[in-house]
């Protein structure tokens, strides 16, 4: 049993809208996300959402990694700077009217 395509698109859009990009993190959580990024062979975007790290290349979801237990409260390590992930806003799925 899998998810419908529309459901997946809606979930991914929510991750793009509400996910925390690495440039808004600080401390040990930022170091962990930087480590994940350094292991990537391609230019990727890592967004934290819920208890997971979502790794995208462009608008394609590559993988979902559970965060280690010590980073589950990552929202304590988020800066107040509200920055958008511009290069992905253009490529993110749009709702059709």
Query: Is residue 96 domain-resident?
Result: no
Give the number of domains in the chain.
1
Residue 34, domain extent:
5-89
Average pLDDT, the chain: 79
**3 state DSSP class of 95:** coil
pLDDT tens digits along 32-67? 999 988 888 788 899 999 889 999 988 888 999 999
62 lies in some domain: yes
Please provide residue 16's backbone torsions phi and psi, each rounded to the nearest 5 degrees: -65, -40
Residue 56: other Cβ atoms inside 10 A: 21
Q: Judge whether 37 lies within some domain.
A: yes
Distance CA 87, CA 1 (A): 33
In a domain, 23, yes or no: yes
In sequence order, which residues have a C-beta less than 8 Å from that of residue 36 and are 6 or more positions away? 46, 53, 55, 65
Report yes or no on 63 lying in a domain: yes
pTM to 2 decimal places = 0.73
Establish if 97 belongs to a structural domain: no
22 located within any domain: yes
Judged against a pLDDT cut of 90, whether residue 93 lies above it is answered with no
pLDDT of residue 91: 46
């Amino acid at each position: 049993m899998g998810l419908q395509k529309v459901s997946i698109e809606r979930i991914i859009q929510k991750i793009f809208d509400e996910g925390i990009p690495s440039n808004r993190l600080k401390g040990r959580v930022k170091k962990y996300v930087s480590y994940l990024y350094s292991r990537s062979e391609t230019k990727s975007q890592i967004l934290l959402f819920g208890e997971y790290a979502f790794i995208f290349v462009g608008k394609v979801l590559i993988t979902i990694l559970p965060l280690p237990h010590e980073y589950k409260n990552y929202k304590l390590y988020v800066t107040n700077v509200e920055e958008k992930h511009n290069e992905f806003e253009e490529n993110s799925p749009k709702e059709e009217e």
